[in-house]
Structure 1
Amino acid sequence: MKPFCFADGHIIPTQTATIHPMDLGLIRGFGIFDFFRTSGRTPLFLEHYLDRFIASAEKTHLPLAYSREELRTIVRELIEKNDLVDGGIRMLLSGGVSENHFSPAEGKLFIFAEPLSMPAEEKYREGVKLLTLEYVRPIADIKTTNYTLPVWHSVNWKRLEAEDVLYHWNGEVSESSRSNFYIVKNGVIHTPDQHILMGITRKKILEIADKVVIRPVTLEEVWDADEAFISSTTKVLLPVTQLDDRKIGSGKPGPVTLDILGKFRALEKSSVA
C-alpha cells in the first residue's frame, strides 16, 4: 500500500485510515469497490471505472457524497501525492453503520493507491488453469466486496496449480471470480451475457475484437473450444489452456487470444500517449 490515501474527506497517511467496527462492510460484508490501473501516472479508462462505481453505489442504495469531478480530482491528487507511475487505484465505499445493523446506511469512502504486480510473462506464454465451480455470484452486475466463496476456495488453488475458478450453473458458464471469460471457436470469440460483471477490460475487448458473439455459453462448449481466455484490470488478458484436468484446444495459447492481447496492449499505450 502506498503512503497516502483518501478517507474522512481528506488525503491522509494510509496507516491512519480507520473504519467503525460495526460498519456493514465488516459485519455483513456489504460494500462496493472498483479498481483500475495507472500507466505513466495516467489512470487507464478512468471515466468507465467512474461510471461503474457511481452506478454500483446507486444500485446498492449507498449514498455517494462526491461528484464525478470530485472523484476525478481526488484520484489525480493521490497519483501525484504517491508518485504512482504504474500501479493501481482502489475505490471503496463501505455499507455504513445502520441503526438495525442490517439496512444500507451512509458509508465511508476510501481511495487507496497501491503498487501492482502483473502476472508473470510465463502465464501469457503458456496459459493458465481454471477449476470449475458450481456457483452464481450474487448481484453479479455490481462490483461488491462479497468474495467470500472464492477467497475460501482459493486455499486449494496453489495445490492444484490453478489460477482461478470458472463459475457455472445449470450447464452454463458465467465468469471467473475476478475476470470475464471467453471461448474461441472457428475464429469467433464467444462470451457469456448473463450473471456477469460488465468488466471494463471486457468492454474494450468487445470494441477491438473482429468477430465476437455475446450469448449464453455452455460448459460443453468450453470443453470443445479451440481457445479460451480471461480478462480483467489486473491481468489484462490471460490465455486459459486447461480446465480442471482437461486441456482446452491444443493446450497452448491460440492465435485469436494472442492477437487480442496484442491489440489491447497497443490500446493501452495509445491511451497514455
Structure 2
Amino acid sequence: MKPFCFADGQIISTEKASIHPMDLGFIRGYGIFDFFRTVNFKPLFLDSYLDRFFSSAEKTFLPLEYSRAELKAVIQELIEKNHLKEGGLRMVLSGGVSPNHFSPAKGKLFIFAESLIFPSQEKYEKGIKLLSLEYVRPIPEIKTTNYALSVWDSMRWNDAGAEDVLYYINGHVSESSRSNFFIVKNGIISTPDSHVLMGITRKHIIELAGKVQIRPISMQEALNADEAFISSTTKILLPVTQIDDHEIGNGKPGPVSLDLLAKFRDLERELCY
C-alpha cells in the first residue's frame, strides 16, 4: 500500500484511514470496489472503470456523492503524490452504517494506491492450472467486496498448485474468482455470456480480437478447447493449460492467446506512451 489514500473526503496518510466497526462493509461484507492500473503515470481505461463503478453503486443502492470529474481529479492527485508510474488504484465504497444493521446506507469512499503483483513470466510462457468449482458468485454482474468463498478456497488451490478456480453451474462455465474466461476452438474465440462480471480487460480483448462468440460454454467444451485463457486487470491475459487433471490443447500456451496478449500490450503502449 502506498503512503497516500483518499478517505473522509480528502487525501490523507494511508495508515490513518479507518472505517466504523458497524459499517456493513465490515459486519456484512457488503460494499463495492473497482481496481485499475496506471501505465506511465496514466490510469489505463479509466472511463470504463468509472462507468462500472458508478453502475455498481447504483445497482447496490449505495450513494456515491462524487462526480466523475471530482473522482478523476482525486485519482490524478493520488498518482502524483504516490509517484505511481506503474501501479494500481483501488476504489472502495462501503455499505455504510445502517440503522437496522442490514439495509444499505450511506457508505464511505476510499481510494487506495497500491503496488502491482503480476504473475511470473513463467506462467505466461507455460500457462496455468485452474480447479473447477460449482458456484455462482453473488450478483456476479457487480464487482462487490464479497470474496469470502474464494479467499477460503484459495488454500485448496495453493495445495494443488493451481492459480485459481473456474466456476461452473449446471454444466456451464462462467468465470474465475478474479478473472474472465475464454476458450479457442478451431481459431474461434468464445467467452461465457452469463453469471460473469463484464470485465474491462475482457471488453478490450473482445474489441482487439474482432470476432468473439459470447455464448454459453459447457465444461466439456472448455476441456476440449484448443486453447484457454483468463483475463483481468492484473493478469492481462494468462494462458490456461490445465483444468483439474485435464490438459488443454497440447498443454502449452496457444498462438491465438499469445497474439492477443501481444496486441493488448501494444494497445497499452499506444495509449500511455
Q: TM bucket by the smaller chain?
A: over 0.9
CA drift of 1:146 comes to 0.4
Alignment of 1:2-81 (within 5 A): 2-81=2-81
The whole-number CA distance in structure 2 between the counterparts of 1:143 and 1:42 is 23
Percent same amino acid at aligned positions? 69
1:180 aligns with 2:183: no
CA offset digits 1:229-253 (Å, max 9, x no partner)? 0000010000000000110000000
Q: CA RMSD in A?
A: 0.5
Alignment of 1:50-199 (within 5 A): 50-199=50-199
The whole-number CA distance in structure 2 between the counterparts of 1:158 and 1:188 is 32
Which residue type is aligned with residue 178 of structure 1?
A: R
CA drift of 1:211 comes to 3.0
Is 1:134–1:169's contact at 8 Å kept on the other side of the alignment? yes
CA drift of 1:156 comes to 1.4
**Which runs of 5 or more residues in structure 2 are unaligned?**
none
Stretch of structure 1 that moved more, 151-160 or 25-34: 151-160
Is 1:168–1:174's contact at 8 Å kept on the other side of the alignment? yes
CA drift of 1:210 comes to 3.5
Which residue type is aligned with residue 101 of structure 2?
A: H
Is 1:3–1:82's contact at 8 Å kept on the other side of the alignment? yes
**SS in structure 1 at match of 2:55:** helix
CA drift of 1:122 comes to 0.4
The whole-number CA distance in structure 1 between the counterparts of 2:98 and 2:196 is 29
| Runs of at least 4 residues off by over 6 Å | none
**Which runs of 5 or more residues in structure 1 are unaligned?**
none
CA offset digits 1:90-121 (Å, max 9, x no partner)? 00000000100000000000000001121100
CA offset digits 1:161-217 (Å, max 9, x no partner)? 000000000000000000000000000101000000000000000101043100000
**SS in structure 1 at match of 2:129:** strand
The whole-number CA distance in structure 2 between the counterparts of 1:146 and 1:11 is 26
